[in-house]
Structure 1
Amino acid sequence: MPEPEYGAGTPAELIAATGAHSAHTYHPLPVVIASAEGAWMTDVGGRRYLDMLAGYSALNFGHRNRRLIEAARAQLDRVTLTSRAFHHDRFGAFCTELAELCGMEMVLPMNTGSEAVETAVKTARKWGYKVKGVPDGMAKIVVAANNFHGRTTTIISFSTDPEARADYGPYTPGFEIVPYGDLTAMDAALTDNAVAVLIEPIQGEAGVLVPPPGYLPAVRELTRERNVLFMADEVQSGLGRTGRTFACEHEGVVPDVYVLGKALGGGVVPVSAVVSSAAVLGVFRPGEHGSTFGGNPLACAVALEVIAMLRTGEFQRRAAELGDRLHHELGLLVGGGAVKRVRGRGLWAGVDIAPELGTGREISERLMERGVLVKDTHGSTIRIAPPLVIGEEDLDWGLDQLRAVLGWAGAGTVPA
């Protein structure tokens, strides 16, 4: 039999089919990807694009990373799903290795980042009632304004983004929103019924916002004093992106709970997890929470390889070194009228473009025309987050294209 023809049709035809038959929950750039490897993607017409988004950090190790693909293939030949009704031979190793990577004791595996955040919310409430002694139904979780933790009904209930929140009420109670980086407001919010602070150590969707120096350690100290859980949502910021295994490490902070996802699945399968101590995750009993696919053999096999890769420190060092290069070059653009601000850590940056040069969407489209793929957010901000495997020359070339779009000289040809 002939091989099936994937993506048959012109880009315009394929995009039109998407628009006709897919709910309009996304507004993708007008490019149709057919294949990818490393930091590069190729469209249906054969044109190559440098990926400077990395699937919102899900592709930290690049597209089709050889080690991860081999791990997945090997597991595909054995068993992919058992459900948690039975034990399987990869589960124990996955939980053990991930707990050790995090310096924790227990792992509760899920699939997506949103599921992990939902699990963290349930964990905090159950801990609050069973351990802290908060009156039933009174538990409060403190969150930060401009957060992005996912899109489930509960999570958007404590979002301050009108696009994410509007028209989905009634909303889930039990959350208090305080300004990100405001320690006084955080202090006031941590009343007797507070059970957790749920916070991104760097706010990704908001534009890669880094909190003021000392803020995270101060929140950590407040939560310790008030017997409140510090839950770090490291779904985007974790697993090497910022130059450390976890973004919290930049401030010397160890949370009570890590919420992980995206890169944990290596861009191959969705894998997420809540990782904590036995004192926290030990509140669950059989039947009180679960997931059909959470911790399945295929997910565990891939995630085990991700953990092994992170243990070498290679990817963290690479993100730190190339991140210094990225932020140095972006910093040179500030003050010349084209770029207003640059924020971020490691291979992660939010770049505020001068509004008169165009919206973030328009800048992203112009970069796409020059062979670079990024994503806009909030007006004239673009996010840059290439795979950690990107080469120096490729990174430099991608920055050349940004300079060209902004009216600077230096755009080169596409690297071979």
Structure 2
Amino acid sequence: MPRIHGASRTGAAGGGIRLFAGLMVAPLIFIAGCSSDGGKTDPGGSTGGNSGGSSSGPNKKGAAGPAAIAITPADGTKSVETDGVLKVDATGGKLTSVVVTDAKGQTVAGQISPDGIGWKPDAPLANAGAYTVAAKAANADGVEVTAQSKFNTKSADDTFVANFNIEPDSTWGVGAIISLKFNEPIKDKAAIERNLKVVSEPAVQGSWSWLKDLDGNDRVDYRPEKYWVTGTKVNLKANLTGAKAAPGVYGKQTKDIKFTIGRSLVATADLKSKYMSVKQDGTEIKNLPISAGGPSFPTWGGTMVVLDKVDGITMDSETVGLGDAYNMKNVRHAVHLTASGTYAHGAPWNEGKFGRQNDSHGCIGMGASNAKTFFDLVTQGDPVEVLNSTDKTVKPGNGLGGWNVDWATWLKGSALSGGGAAPTSGTPAP
């Protein structure tokens, strides 16, 4: 059938400390001060809304130097960018606690670095949000210092969303490709890709790659170098809320999608022999006679991936620019292979041609019984490899055509990797 183209400083005197207001997103810095004569420590005042802190005890002669905390953005800063600005740093000691909360009291997830001197959030902050940072650090003697900052993030002029092809708790074939299609142009692809993470068990070397969807929209797809291994557990985390796609344009989605790779089923349609071999876990279980695209409408070559399937669909020639050549209703056992409209389906009108003659408008046709057999066997994500086509290869943005891009080229499509694959190491969260 047809293809459808359609920042602050401190000072100490007599053991006391003072804080000075920082400018904009310059860090708020607090240094622990201790009296030299063993007297009480003055925790210091606050300036311009900055909240100071105090050490947990006096510093003795010969003891470790004081710790300090720097929070960026500084207290009282307005219109802060949502991504890449917020950070907490410690000098002269290590961070022991960093708690960031929004206006509703919800905690912002983040991690203290292994060396204990830095903290960053796991994901961008929300637009037009009010946030409070409370941090603690201690020097080598355990003398603790605290610091606080309050700030607001900038509002969004416009927002974007992505259409995700993978649903939570779904099972996909070994040819699965994770695909996100955006409803707005993505100018800063690195900012978006930086907030997409794929973790699998077992781990694989995989990469995102940017491309254009068949409809012209920006799209980013993820796949390993080779087909997935049966039983792989995959976890996609997309922290796009507050991610900046372009000046003034921010995301408003956060997704945590877990799915599984099922049994291996790979179909190979040889347009020369006019048979399609179906192998499950490496063993051929069916060899079905087919009739593919005829000389005027040859079936495209390359690897296609099952997108979905429906038992009963209308196929109309007008959708592929062929006028009123045909309008067939209730085409049975239709397995969807490309966004442009390539299917493998039942074609009883071509009875007598299966295994002998290619005479379709580009689809892979089978007799009624064999079409049902194939329909019942396949699931989303199963690859269908088309050999010996006389036409072009399926483009990566047409359905899930990314397997038709060699690995080196695929890696170059990433906005972050610089030509190196990103390992999906680790185990997905339970």
TM class, shorter-chain normalised? under 0.3
The alignment's TM-score, normalised by the length of structure 2, stands at: 0.23
More strand as a share of residues: 2
Instruction: Tell which structure's C-alpha radius of gyration is larger.
Output: 2
Of structures 1 and 2, the one with the larger relative CO (CA 8 A, separation 6+) is 1
The alignment's TM-score, normalised by the length of structure 1, stands at: 0.23
More helix as a share of residues: 1
